[in-house]
Amino acid sequence: MTSVATPETTLGATTAEVCIAACADTYRESGEILAHAVGIIPALGARLAKLTTAPEIVLSDGEAFFLSGPPMPGDPDAAAPAVEGWAPFRRVFDIVATGRRQSMMGASQIDRFGNQNISLIGDWARPTRQLIGVRGAPGNTANHRVDYWVARHSTRVFVDAVDMVSGVGNDRAREAGLEHHHLGVIVTNLAVLGYGADGIVTVLSVHPGVDPQTVTDSTGFALDATDAPLTRTPDAEELRLIREVLDPRGTRSREVAD
Amino acid sequence: MSDKRVSIEEAVATIESRMTIGIGGWGSRRKPMALVREILRRDITDLTVVAFGGPDVGLLAAAGRIRRLVYGFVSLDSIPLDPLFTRARERGDLEIEEYDEGMFVTGLRAAASRLDFLPILAGLGSDVLPANPRLRTVASPYSDAQYVAMPALPLDVALVHVNRADAQGNAQYLGPDPYFDDLFAMAATRTIVSTEKVIPTSALLDEGSFHTLLFSRIYASAVVEAPGGAHFTTCAPDYERDEAFQKHYVASAKDPSAWAEFERTFLQTDEAGYRSAVAQFHADRGES
């Protein structure tokens, strides 16, 4: 099996692979919860976690079924995943309300308190661009841990104020008294961001090969990346799983170019 | 027991302008598209539409039939946005109530239970509250907790499409997900059930276990046999989404002259004409 779109097939990880490992790390202390991951890199991250550090997490097929493990398109010897549960949409909302879930969602905009927008650009009454709508973001952020994935870290995404708060940020959550609110991390193509005790976005690590100044310059609010450590590089076994088992066709490079 | 079978024309003739109609299914999944197409053929306007929206909402919005839209989202699933809906929204043509998906379900549950509201955490702290000025919070009588008081979403008529039903309106789904069609039926004064196939009551367990009996005839007012009635959305296991046709819908919707052609070919005709035009669409593409 040769891996496509990974120029350094054995040595060195691509940025996409670093991002997948960072997404997988969000499940290290999650326990037995439903992993909900939107996007190619987050979905690969959840599957990688399932095969390595977080075997207890529950994965779904994206429709109505829970699967005993990730599909293994690159591994002919792997057992096909079995259906281990039924979760039509109505049950997903029940699970959200119990808190036994963790989401990694995308974001069209995020502000310095982690308020997220996926709904629209412009004015509510007459948007300049109607996006996907708030979807489940208000309920997710009110009920369980939510992380974000940003494939193109830029000042268009990281803004001073979002146009419509879909996912609730730390300042709003405190005001509203949301006791189950928990923002985890923001994984981007440049860095892993977290939140300080004041609820404001900070830099946890910068990806290998990225100039810390680029992180600051690509963020629309004050963000100091100067002293941030490097994001960890996936180990040999993680790289094998990503390249040979989980994503042999290299779909990850569609979200983050090599 | 009453035989509730009627033609699609008779069923939709009971829908009046200014009614609040709930449309079952989810996004581009098991939508009662034949019923929606029949609404488009008639002079029914100023509707309040309540839905997890897909092309049902896009088509009704583009035809100017919706005065007010109450929704959890509008999406075509494999294609994230419906261009007919987004255009209507960006023009400011629609009055809008947009809710978090869980809030939307809670509003249907409240209506189904004949309650004014139900409490829910979702929405607190988000801009869903300021965007919907009628939304209020409610204080727990047992603690200091505050919840969103999600108002009931009662419906004059619910439109749903299921895989099988008997002539009395016992409705069955055979796919992986019931969506919320039973809740729509319970939240409505009347429910029109369209179905791939009307079968004898004694055959209801032939193709699926008793768990697939989605809702009872006590919630059904009319039964319409409409094979292919969810097209182009999925109606698994009877058929999957017609992705090629959905792509054609989206491409046409983005261009006014192409849209006029789409309307002429597929919408300015009866249901039999629609089905033969769809067959011709696939034949022209070299598909059987």
Average of per-residue pLDDT across B239-260:
97
Average of per-residue pLDDT across A170-199:
98
Torsion of the alpha carbons at A32, A36, A39 and A45, rounded to the nearest 10: 0
**Cβ(A151)–Cβ(A255) below 8 Å:** yes
Lowest mean pLDDT among B81-85, B91-95, B162-166: B91-95
> pLDDT confidence of A9, banded at 50, 70, 90?
very low
**Cβ(A61)–Cβ(A69) below 8 Å:** no
> pLDDT confidence of B210, banded at 50, 70, 90?
very high
How far is it, in rounded angstroms, from Cα B168 to Cα B165?
Answer: 8
Alpha-carbon gap: A127 to the closest alpha carbon of chain B (Å): 5
Residue B99: name the closest of B62, B78, B74, B81 by CA.
B74
In which residue are the tokens 């979807």 written?
A135
pLDDT for B272:
96
Choosing among A65, A89, A129, A180, which should be mutated to test the B contact, i.e. which has the most B CBs within 10 A?
A89
User: In B, which residues are within 8 Å of A88 by CB distance?
Assistant: 176-179
User: In A, which residues are within 8 Å of B99 by CB distance?
Assistant: 134
Contact criterion met (CB < 8 Å) for A136 and B101: yes
Q: How far is CA B21 from the centre of its chain?
A: 9
Contact criterion met (CB < 8 Å) for A133 and B73: yes
User: In B, which residues are within 8 Å of A60 by CB distance?
Assistant: none
Residue B21: name the closest of B59, B85, B69, B61 by CA.
B69
> pLDDT confidence of B288, banded at 50, 70, 90?
low
> What is the reported pTM?
0.95
pLDDT for A207:
98
Residue A169: name the closest of A130, A161, A102, B100 by CA.
A161
Whether residue A2 has pLDDT greater than 80: no
DSSP annotation string for A59-117 = EE-SSSEEESS---TT-TTSPPPPEEEE--HHHHHHHHHHT-EEEEE--SEE-TT--EE
Q: pLDDT tens-digit profile of A214-234?
A: 999 999 999 999 999 999 999
How far is it, in rounded angstroms, from Cα A59 to Cα A31?
Answer: 13
Q: pLDDT tens-digit profile of B14-35?
A: 999 999 999 999 999 999 999 9
Residue window 26-45, chain B: list those with CB within 8 Å of chain A. Answer: 26
Give the three-state DSSP class for B27: coil
In which residue are the tokens 């609730």 written?
A168
Whether residue A67 has pLDDT greater than 60: yes
Whether residue A5 has pLDDT greater than 70: no
Choosing among A134, A143, A163, A179, which should be mutated to test the B contact, i.e. which has the most B CBs within 10 A?
A134
How far is it, in rounded angstroms, from Cα A36 to Cα B141?
Answer: 34
ipTM: 0.95
Task: Quote the mean pLDDT of chain B.
Answer: 97
Q: pLDDT tens-digit profile of B106-156?
A: 999 999 999 999 999 999 999 999 999 999 999 999 999 999 999 999 999
Alpha-carbon gap: B26 to the closest alpha carbon of chain A (Å): 9
